[in-house]
Chains A and B, each alone.
Chain A
Amino acid sequence: MIKVSQRQNGGVTILDVMGKITIGAGDLAVRNAVQEALNAGATGLLVNLQGVSTIDSSGIGELVSAFTTAANRGVKLKLLHLPPKVNDVLQITHLITVFDVFENEDEAVKSFS
């Protein structure tokens, strides 16, 4: 249903999310992955949403929570590779104005420095 894997690139922790970020499983998986990364000392978080097929309001809420949780710890959380449907949702919710969004991973990683 959902898989979140973690890797490093240039000192930035990247979370690759695959599947559905929806209520009951996907939202919790994202929450746990972000929490683990922060607890492990991540100084920059890049959430790669390329493999996300569906996101619901709980999934969007989880991204917002992750953003504010990270910010409260002085860590920036940014988004990478928005699928068109996820982009549409961020547009209509006006959250596109909250998140830094990138289409290129190297540029995204550089933006943290």
Chain B
Amino acid sequence: MPEENRFHLTIGSRFENIELVQVVLRDSLLRLGMDEDALHWVDVSVREAVANAIKHGNRQAADKRVQVDFAEAQGEVVIQIRDEGEGFSPEGLESPLAPENLTKPSGRGIFFMKSFMDGIEYGSGPDGGTVVTLRKRLAGPPPDAARDEKE
């Protein structure tokens, strides 16, 4: 895989650092030919994941970091965001579309990621913390179809 199709960032737990991630992410996605519409939604999703890592994972602690890894392979972009928090499971989260939740001010971040990305997985890092993996296909056939064509 070409080096230019991957990057790694380590940022401090401050919301303004999300802008730094956004600049590097945007540049990488443009190089890969992602269209502006898809790029916008990937940007929003990664914002949500990094914001969650800073706010809920690291609780904005100055000594904790957020790691962002970006890679592209076979027409699919994979972005991993990991924090140094106590871990998290999305099970049991209430739907923000339920009538009783509709006018609540929070609880939509994961819903955004699920809505805008092709895949989202939650796991734990080797040293604890939460690892969120976001996947998005570039324009064209999905990765499985591309692999089949090669074979």
Interface residue ranges, A against B (CB under 8 Å): 1, 22-25, 54, 56-58, 60-62, 64-65, 67-68, 85, 89, 92-95, 97-98
Q: Decide if B111 touches A93 in the complex (CB within 8 Å).
A: yes
Residues of B within 8 A of A95 (CB): 102
| Contacts A/B (CB < 8 Å), 28 sampled | A22-B47, A23-B18, A23-B47, A23-B51, A24-B14, A24-B15, A24-B16, A24-B18, A24-B51, A25-B15, A25-B16, A54-B40, A54-B44, A54-B47, A56-B47, A56-B48, A57-B111, A61-B105, A61-B106, A64-B104, A68-B103, A68-B105, A85-B40, A92-B115, A93-B96, A95-B102, A97-B102, A98-B103
Residues of A within 8 A of B122 (CB): none
Q: Decide if A54 touches B43 in the complex (CB within 8 Å).
A: yes
How many angstroms between the C-alpha atoms of A98 and B101 in the bound complex?
Answer: 12
- What is the total number of residues of chain B having a CB less than 8 Å from a CB of chain A? 24
Interface residue ranges, B against A (CB under 8 Å): 14-16, 18-19, 40, 43-44, 47-48, 51, 55, 96-97, 102-106, 108-109, 111-112, 115
Q: Decide if A65 touches B102 in the complex (CB within 8 Å).
A: no
- How many A-B contacts at CB < 8 Å in the complex? 59
How many angstroms between the C-alpha atoms of A101 and B112 in the bound complex?
Answer: 21
CB contact between A57 and one of B40, B48, B97 (< 8 Å): that residue: B48
B15 — nearest CB in chain A belongs to which residue?
Answer: A24
How many angstroms between the C-alpha atoms of A68 and B108 in the bound complex?
Answer: 17
